[in-house]
Amino acid sequence: MVDTNITIMEEFILLGFSEFPNFQGFLFVIFLIIYLSILLGNGLIIIITNVELVLQTPMYYFLRNFSFVEICYTSVILPRMLLNLWSQKRNISLLSCAIQLCFFLILATAESFLLAVMAYDRYVAICKPLYYPLIMNHKMCIKMVVSSWVIGIPLLVGQTYHIFSVPFCGSNKLNHIFCDMPPLLKLACGDISGDEVFLYVDCVLFGLTPFLMILMSYIRILNSILKLSSKTGISKAFSTCSSHLMVVCLFYGSGLIAYLQSNFSYSGKTEKIFSVFYTIVTPMINPMIYSLRNKDFIEAMKRLFSKCVKN
């Protein structure tokens, strides 16, 4: 038997952007502005889609829930990052790290499936317009949203517990902006092949599966659009889908690249760049994509602001 010195860790050090020591204050201001923009933009969508009767449709119901997920999603990561940048104290306990990872995975999964639900909603609206009120009734919308929230909870809670039940040895420096699975597995001792398999299973179940659902919806939508003879109908169909497609490309383009990197090509800097993009930049851009490209939403926003000014 070979004795191995294993130090039982009680906390990690989140390195974040420590390689830029002279820019910590600047980064704090930038990320604070981004976080406030996310809260304001998504909060505005939630308020307007709640109070405006014109926007009381399934599409805006899903958008409202999506915006709420975006706020929760970034709130799991950004406040801690801002605290680290401000105080320069980057330590995080194992329990806090586990809680952050678990909530991040659950919310990321909810976001993925909500995007799939929104794609299905567009498919029904374009391909089966006469049956739209019957299929996308209020009860069905609630069931779809609740399912998006809870579908991954049992497996993801169990996986988080399993990851933190193995010992961590060597360095306690986590080269990432938050507690995520790939950098955590780099610090784990012993055989982690099972955890790596679970990582790829997660990518397939909670990343690739909703993506394929979105793809199938848009293949059917495209097939229906090509059958339309009216240019106005084609233009209207594309306009209702373009915003959602842009959000899907931003979210999956960066997220899947970050998670599907093999161990041989893993790079802490690359991982951080993609993570910043799909966890922080995308939730900031999404409200602008949905609001600025939507005439009904712009008109509803003008009415709300005019009421506020008059009062």
pLDDT at 266: 53
Q: Is the pLDDT of residue 71 over 80?
A: yes
Residue 11 main-chain phi, psi, to 5 deg: -155, 160
Q: Residues 157, 159, 165, 167: is their CA dihedral positive or negative?
A: negative
User: What is the distance between the alpha carbons of residues 311 and 291, in angstroms, rounded to a whole number?
Assistant: 24
pLDDT band for position 262 (50/70/90)? very low
Domains and CATH numbers, the chain: 11-304 (1.20.1070.10)
What are 12-57's pLDDT values in tens digits? Answer: 888 888 888 888 889 999 999 999 999 999 999 999 888 888 888 9
pLDDT of residue 23: 84
More confident residue, 148 or 192: 148
The answer to whether 55 and 296 are in contact (CB under 8 A) is yes
> What pTM, to 2 d.p., does this model score?
0.87
What number of other Cβ atoms are within 10 A of residue 8's Cβ?
Answer: 8
pLDDT above 70 covers what percent of the chain?
84
pLDDT at 3: 44
For 246-278, b/e burial (b = at least 16 CB within 10 A) is: ebbebbbebbbebbeeeeeeeeeeebbebbbbb
Token readout for 295 is 């005439």
Is 111 in contact with 210 (CB distance < 8 Å)? Answer: no
Strand-pair category, 173-174 with 91-93: unpaired
Distance from C-alpha of 190 to C-alpha of 181, rounded to nearest angstrom: 16
* pLDDT(308) > 60: yes
User: pLDDT band for position 87 (50/70/90)?
Assistant: confident
User: What are the phi and psi torsion angles at 13 (to 5°)?
Assistant: -115, 110
Looking at residue 207, the DSSP 8-state letter turns out to be I
- For residue 232, the one-letter residue type is T
Q: What's CA 16's distance to the chain center, in Å?
A: 19
Give the model's pLDDT for residue 9: 67
Rounded to the nearest integer, the mean pLDDT of the chain is 82
Interatomic CA distance for residues 268 and 272, integer angstroms: 6
Q: Supply the pLDDT for residue 4.
A: 45
Q: Please compute the mean of the pLDDT values over residues 179-193 and round it to a whole number.
A: 78
Q: Which pLDDT score, from 0 to 100, does residue 199 have?
A: 72
Surface-to-core class of residue 133, CB atoms within 10 Å of its CB (0-12 exposed, 13-18 middle, 19+ buried): exposed
Asked if 272 and 146 touch (Cβ cutoff 8 Å), the reply is: no
